[in-house]
Chain A
Amino acid sequence: MTNRNQFVTELENLKLELIQMGDLVIANLNDGFSSFFTLDLKLAEQTIKNDKIVNATEQKIEKTCLRIIMKEQPVASDLRLITAVLKMITDLERIGDHAADISKMLIFMEKTKQIYPISSFEPMAETCNMMIKNALQSFVNEDLVKANFVIQTDDIVDDLFEKIKRTVSEAIRKGEIDADYAIYAMMVAKYLERIADHAVNISEWVIYSVTGEHVNTPDL
């Protein structure tokens, strides 16, 4: 028998809201990648629009957290949970922004009427997708193993980023690639790399929520 049933319910609802925001961000991210790989301009436009919803969701959850702090004066694991949620929604919101940014880049790239296939984009996008999914799952299940796994996976994304950089600079030296296109491509690669970093941050906050320790992996 527990006390503070209202409080317990509030916390459960908060977790749900976070997951819903996560799902929203993932959906938007997938749309972003999809539009990128299928050159779907309409989808790209849609993705940019949807980011507004993500921002609104972040504000809503932020308000909920503040209200809980005022009302319930949480301590211990409750306090850590609320703190972690406040931080995680920031990272999720940034991921959402980057998804929109990638769509913007597609629109610019399309205008250059150039196609230079870079093979690493797809694995990179998939890895990011997986990292975010895992981070959120580790939150749901309080799974420290999964959270740590996400942190490790960041290395793969960093490697892929290096690869793309080498490919593009090689193509520039050889004169095989349009200058604007090259820049836009690098920016997309950077956005993907940042998305992975945010996924890492989310996992770090999951670890904090469970253990009380905040491990800070420096962003390379």
Chain B
Amino acid sequence: MLNVFEIKSLNLYYHEKQALKNIDMIIHKHEVTAFIGPSGCGKSTLLRSFNRMNDLIDGCRMEGNIYYVGNDIYAKDFNVIDLRAIIGMVFQKANPFPMSIFDNVAYGPRCQGVKDKKILNNIVRQALEDSALYDEVKDRLREPAICLSGGQQQRLCIARAIAMSPEVLLMDEPTSALDPIATAKIEDLIAKLKEKYTIVIVTHNMQQAARISDKTAFFLLGELIEYNETEALFTHPKNPKTEDYITGRFG
């Protein structure tokens, strides 16, 4: 099994505060890995370090290494733009650009220099189909993305990320702002998407983690407490802290 991400002795600091402590883990290809843990445990921070979005935060400092298919992504002169083109990200709150649906999905490819109308049409169509959104919007591709419902907007954001043909999809609590039906649609989508992509999803909904992930990692106060097959972690966790958290006894 090819290792998509290898994290070795990762320590991360925001100014003086340590957000991640000695993280060692491996993310495998074509798996859905869920990060769970209470607020402030560092799961989103770790996720954002996979595509170096933490670079944008003032005072963020890192020790240790993260390897993407064997390459140290924090090496000097490493091309961050290319990295982010291969690793897509979907955020907690759907954030479509104030443009048409078509332009939103085509944004990434256009930034890469794709100009041919035919090619763009195909890319957009394929991305929307893969995000289970095409049928709902095929007659109004030129309408502003704002006109879509919350669930549709989030699927649009997924389509936007997929249009870049990434290898990995990072999802930061993608359904926390959505109603149950929209959530269910996206969870079904994730089950399909893992055939093509490697997915890492941060969620504070444990049932969701149990439903959709192959592996689950539990974080607490910046440490990786337990990381295992989801079924094993949710039926008999090895660490009592994990047990306390997932049974809700955590206080």
Which residues in A have some Cβ–Cβ distance to B below 8 Å? 1-4, 7-8, 73-80, 211-212
Contacts and interface: CB of A to CB of B under 8 A. Distances in A.
A2 B190 CA distance: 34
A212 B235 contact: yes
B250 A76 contact: no
10 contacts: A2-B251, A4-B249, A75-B206, A75-B210, A75-B235, A75-B247, A76-B246, A76-B247, A80-B235, A212-B236
A7 B234 CA distance: 18
Contacts of A7: 248
A199 B115 CA distance: 74
B243 A76 contact: yes
A74 B247 CA distance: 7
A76 B235 contact: yes
Interface of B: 206-207, 210, 234-237, 242-243, 246-251
Contacts of A79: 234-235
A1 B248 CA distance: 11
A2 B247 CA distance: 10
Contacts of B251: 1-3
A73 B243 contact: no
Nearest to A210: B236
Nearest 5 CB-CB pairs, A to B? Answer: A212-B236, A1-B251, A4-B248, A2-B249, A75-B234
B248 A77 contact: no
Nearest to B236: A212
Residue picked from B207, B210, B235, B248, most chain A C-beta under 10 Å: B248
Contacts of B246: 75-76
Given A75-B247, A212-B235, 10 more contacts: A1-B251, A2-B249, A2-B251, A3-B248, A8-B249, A73-B207, A74-B247, A75-B206, A76-B243, A77-B247
A3 B249 contact: yes
Contacts of A73: 207
A65 to B, nearest CB: 16
Contacts of B249: 2-4, 8
A75 B235 CA distance: 6
B236 A76 contact: yes
Contacts of A211: 236
B248 A76 contact: no
A78 B247 contact: yes
Contacts of B243: 76-77
A78 B237 CA distance: 11
A76 B242 CA distance: 9
